[in-house]
Structure 1
Amino acid sequence: MIKHFLLFEFKSFIRSASVGKSVALKLFLVFIALYLSLSLLGLGVFLYKILETTFPEQNPFHVVQQFIGIWFVVELMLRFFVQTLPVIDIKSFLTQNIKKKTIIHYVLIKSVFSFYNLIGLFIAVPFAVIAYSKQSVSGGEATAWILSIIALVLIINYTNFLIKKSFTAHLRKFGFLMSLVVIAIGLEYFNIFSSSYYIGELMLLVVQNPALVLVFFGFAGLLYFLNYQFLKANLYLDSLIKAKESNVETTDLNWTRKFGSIAPFIQLDLKLIWRNKRPRATLMMSVIFLAYGLIFYTNPAYNEMPAFFVFIGIFVTGIFVINFGQFIPSWDSNYFSLIHAQNIPLKKYLESKVALLTFSAIVLGLASIPYVYFGWNVLWINLACALYNIGVNVLVILYSGSFNKKKIDLEKSPFMNYQGAGAAQWLVGFPLLLVPILIWYVIYKITNQETATIGLGAIGILFLFLRNYFIKKIVLGYQKRKYATLQGFKQQEN
């Protein structure tokens, strides 16, 4: 049966409307994966020497245990926001003579074969080998430590699976979980309770008593069982069918009439955000990430890296542009064919998206003004980044949308739903975030910080004046690829 599942996914991939784009993208990702693998292996080889130099009076093998807890949290958060869980189209299988447990075991085991599960091992294995060659640990202790890292990787994998599939479906549960994480980080930061210290001591205890590795694997097995039970309880056709709501909320959106001919489209977008949990969660996350700067502005070490403040400014003022804009026009995939079938100018449709994204960047830019507490340079950089987001990044994200072919079902997985998201959506973030940093840094090295900030904002204003010209070019791209887009929206994402 596993062979049939693999064959099904292969046929689903080659028959997809975006197969050409997917192959090219996967080849690029293979290159990135190879580069990261070599980089991580290099870090693992030299990590012992780095710790030996940084902490000359301590055993590097003991020092690294203090960072295991930090690595655990960071990797778990990275996976939560980046990793896409393995899924299959179960509707067709549930009506066949296939045991549900076979489907569930396939999905859970498939999640183990992910590049993310190798990240920690690329560093841990060479580090343990070097530590053994330096006689810091015995062969048995190094083996026990590597096995414990493998068990922790499995724990991270199935914890992430459980959080995405269970907790994120309920905003209150997820908020409670995030509150616990924030409290733990706060206790660690203010030296009230160091959880990383106790985790390090636990890892050393495992090294001294290798039999305790079985406890780690047992906990990973428990998480596997919990995921199995959750999926089993929800693996029914009835759970895939959502009853229609009988109550309809009405909202007065007459104020949008000032936008003229694009007002009806803006009203639809606002209703879409308000009435559907996934886009509403995107809006909520944009508000939450306004506090992102507090992580870095309060750390004096970043004062020596002013270019990093540009990244923060672009991120804080443009988070909604990035998170919401990357799924244009997939948000409207359910009725995108109707838009083309009616006498609706595509240019007006896209202009409404531009207006919505521009409004979000203005609001977030104004909301970031209190950061002036950390210096006037922070305020000017944030405002310049807001102008750059409005002038340049809105157009970039709109153009990238002409290549979107994946449908989004707004009724599925309301919070942190990654349906319709692929590596392409994440890759779009690189030019959005890195190009303004590069522009600012080049001007900064030639002149000074003030001129670089003015230059970044001036580029945004320049593109704002050229917006109508670029929108016309973007419309041509949407028209050129509209049939491929419509065909892609007809397909159910697996």
Structure 2
Amino acid sequence: MNLFLELRRHGKLAEKRHPMYEKSKFGKFWMYFMSVFWAGYLIFFGTTFAFAFDGGAKEAYHVMNSGLIFILALDFLLRLPFLKTPTQEVKPYLLLPIKRSRLIDFLLLRSGLNSFNLLWLFLFVPFAIITVTKFYGIGGVLTYCIGIWLLIVFNNYWYLLCRTLMDERIWWVLLPIVVYGGIAAALFVPDDSPLFGFFIDLGEGFITGNILTFICVLVAISLMWFINRSIMQKLVYNELNKTEDTTVQVKTVSEYKFLDRYGEIGEYIRLELKLLLRNKVCRKSLYSVTAIVLIFSLTISFSDIYDGGSRDFFVLYNYIIFGILFLSPLMSYEGNYIDGLMSRKESIYSLLRAKYILYSIALIIPFVLMIPGMVTGKVSVLECTAWIIFVPGAVYFCLFQLAVYNNKTLDLNAKMTGRQNVGTGLQNLIAGGAFGVPLLLFFVLNATVGKEVTPWILLVVGILFIATSRWWLRNVYHRFMKRRYKNMEGFHDSRQK
């Protein structure tokens, strides 16, 4: 326990001394605002579900419990753009007489106690207060919420296992595909799937405080803990000892000569492509996000799982995930060679324009993958067109503001032992807002002006931001240059030694 408290204190000190630590009242205000926004969002849905499910053949909490698997799957997906594997600067601690397994245990414990695991309680607590108290009182609400929290903790460790393996080998993306594909088949292929009954009984066990139910969940968490610890310990050892370096060979080298005609902008697009395709961290992220978009697109196009409001959620997710993943750490990868970029006049502006053009073009990928959905009538052509214009317009405008404030260098190859995998508060804030605000805007517009008018409004807003992109990119560039010495100091201090 003393070791855990000491390392936790070190983590807090590292955050406060971090070059990305934001102390401005404005930044804190928006952090609190977005937290309250998402909490209110879930409270609203929890209250709505409580009254919507009431009055049927089953009790409302039985209906909610039958859909717990969908909550867990959605939780898994939401973690992908926002949460990385729990890493810390473990190198200094490995020089001390501390077992590596104890360090990994600390990382896993810190992940299990992450406040993100409490997010879904804003949905379940108001739901339970309205529906469970009628039969089981406050005690039933308390045990039910504890059980839900334990399920989310289990899901957290399941996500860590998949994310760790996918970061190491992209083919491990097949693991969650097979698991969730098998669950989907078990849910929808039989006429009366036993899985629905299983989750109803599981939720009933939580509500009644059944000791056996809690023991089974704790055993499952312990099993996931042990598997994660074994795999992470092995990967940390391999990374620290560079065991893979002797086997890596460059087989092909592409110079992307077709970009020569575009001058300096083409040079920086070439630089960005090489960064994405030749570095371990960026390449794995690119492959993972492409696989995710492909899976969602095919699922939306050829199944009824995401019909209704959830379909709009995942359509937007497909378009916005590229920007959140690669533009939230804007300029952080360039921190490895920022001195060379700063040696040429206005090279940063050209780099920003190149990034904007490249990641705007990248949105063609989800648009093409959604064509089967347009053909089958699951997705509107106008809606997809609206998102492919709105996202590089309004959403990218918000994400590019991070170029001014990001001053932490992200290592291009280290995954398990580097601090780079821990997102900053400002990055998480803007990334969360970049996804949540367009989704809320879409639902509000649908409710007020109708589904026919909403895409046209999104199109107009997106076109305005795209038409003025040179102006606001120039503004970002000038603000970056005013902070250049502070940012360069942060890039230098946070480089991996």
Give the TM-score range, shorter chain.
Answer: 0.7 to 0.9
* TM-score (normalised: structure 1): 0.80
Of stretches 118-127 and 462-471 in structure 1, the one that deviates more from structure 2 is 118-127
Change in Cα spacing, 1:122 to 1:379, as seen in structure 2 (3 Å) is closer
Q: Does the 8 A contact of 1:61 with 1:131 survive in 2?
A: yes
Change (3 A) 1:253 1:59: closer
Compared with structure 1, are the counterparts of its residues 168 and 463 closer, same or farther at alpha carbon in structure 2 (3 Å cutoff)? closer
- Do residues 289 (structure 1) and 293 (structure 2) align? yes
Deviation at 1:184, TM superposition (A): 1.6
Q: Where do 1:457-476 residues align within 5 Å? A: 457-476=459-478
Helix, strand or coil at the partner of 2:336: coil
The alignment covers a number of residue pairs equal to: 486
What 5-or-longer segments of structure 2 have no aligned partner? none
Check 1:450–1:148 CA distance in 2 against 1; reply closer, same or farther (3 A cut).
Answer: closer
| Residues 451, 251 of structure 1: alpha-carbon distance in 2 compared, 3 angstrom cutoff | same
CA contact 1:147–1:213 (8 Å) conserved in 2: no
Measured after TM superposition, the shift of residue 50 of structure 1 is 4.8
The residue type paired with residue 229 of structure 2 is Y
| Amino acid of the structure 2 residue aligned with 1:263 | G
Amino acid aligned to 2:20? S
Larger RCO of the pair (alpha carbons < 8 Å, separation 6+): 2
* Residues 222-249 of structure 1, C-alpha deviations (whole Å, 9 max, x = no match): 2223333334434548636462644353
Contact 1:441 1:452 in 2 (8 A): no
Whether the 8 Å contact between 2:133 and 2:141 is mirrored in structure 1 is no
Cα distance per residue 1:81-112 (max 9 Å; x no partner): 43355432111111123343442332222223
1:382 aligns with 384
CA contact 1:444–1:452 (8 Å) conserved in 2: no
How far apart are 1:13 and its partner, in Å?
A: 1.9
With normalisation by structure 2, the TM-score equals: 0.79
Counterpart in the other structure of 2:334: 332
CA positional deviation for 1:409:
1.3
Deviation at 1:338, TM superposition (A): 1.7
In the aligned structure 2, how far is the partner of 1:303 from the partner of 1:147?
31
Is it true that 1:117 corresponds to 2:117 in the alignment? yes
Instruction: Look up the equivalent residue of 1:220 and give its one-letter code.
Output: I
Counterpart check, 1:160 vs 2:159: yes
Once structures 1 and 2 are overlaid, which stretch shifts more, 339-348 or 258-267? Answer: 339-348
The match for 2:20 is 18
2-side partners of 1:442 and 1:24: how far apart? 28
Question: C-alpha deviations, 1:426-455, integer Å up to 9, x for none?
Answer: 433434673597489769956x76665445
What is the distance in 1 between the residues matched to 2:407 and 2:475? Answer: 19
Larger CA deviation: 432-441 vs 252-261: 432-441
**Bigger Rg over Cα:** 1
Q: For residues 131 and 316 of structure 2, what CA distance do their matches in structure 1 show?
A: 42
Cα distance, 1:31 vs. partner? 5.2
Residues 451/17 of structure 1: CA separation in 2 closer, same or farther (3 Å cut): same
Unpaired stretches in structure 1, ≥5 consecutive residues:
none
Local SS of the residue matching 1:334: helix
2:350 to 348, 351, 354: 348
Contact 1:266/1:352, CA 8 A, preserved across alignment: yes
Question: How many angstroms apart in 2 are the aligned matches of 1:321 and 1:139?
Answer: 43
Task: Tell me, in whole angstroms, the C-alpha distance in 1 between the residues paired with 2:95 and 2:470.
Answer: 51
| Displacement of 1:400 | 2.9
Task: State how far apart, in whole Å, the 2-side matches of 1:36 and 1:470 are.
Answer: 28
Deviations along 1:320-356, whole A, 9 cap, x unmatched?
Answer: 3443233322232211222113466322222222221
Q: Which amino acid in 2 is paired with 1:275?
A: R
Correspondence list, 1:14-163, <5 A: 14-21=16-23, 25=27, 28-30=30-32, 32-33=34-35, 50-53=52-55, 55=56, 57-121=57-121, 133-135=133-135, 137=136, 148-163=147-162
Q: Distance in 2 between matches of 1:346 and 1:422?
A: 22
Mapping 1:253-292, distance limit 5 Å? 253-284=256-287, 285-286=289-290, 288-289=292-293, 292=296
Identity %: 19
Residue identity in the other structure for 1:274: L
CA distance in 2, matches of 1:491, 1:331: 14
